[in-house]
Amino acid sequence: MCRNIRTLFNFEPPATENEVRDASLQFVRKLSGFTKPSRVNEVAFNRAVEEVAAVARDLLASLVTTAEPHDREAWAAKAKARAALRRADLASGMRQTSRTSP
């Protein structure tokens, strides 16, 4: 469920408001166990998302580094390559398992 939470600090271009909110939504979903809350919990759920987003924005604004900003496109390409490798490893493991099964 939290696969959509990405590192947002020290990127060029900086994280957008939508990225911060999406990460906050995923975090609250993980904590609550709800993908979509019931009507009775909707107000509390949405308030939590907004509060987490506010804290995340404050955190990102207050962090300091001397490192060069990361290139967002290069990180995305590396993540896609790692995901493809994981899928290939899983597929390979499934083929080996099916061959060794009686």
DSSP for 22-70, written as a single string:
HHHHHHHHHHH--SS--HHHHHHHHHHHHHHHHHHHHHHHH----SPPE
Q: Give the per-residue pLDDT at 91.
A: 83
Which amino acid, one-letter code, is at 4?
N
pLDDT exceeds 50 at position 53: yes
Q: What is the pTM of this model?
A: 0.73
Contact 4, 23 (CB under 8 A): yes
Q: At what angle do helices 17-32 and 39-62 cross, to 10 degrees?
A: 130
Domain-wise residue ranges, the chain: 1-67, 69-102
Q: Give the per-residue pLDDT at 35.
A: 92
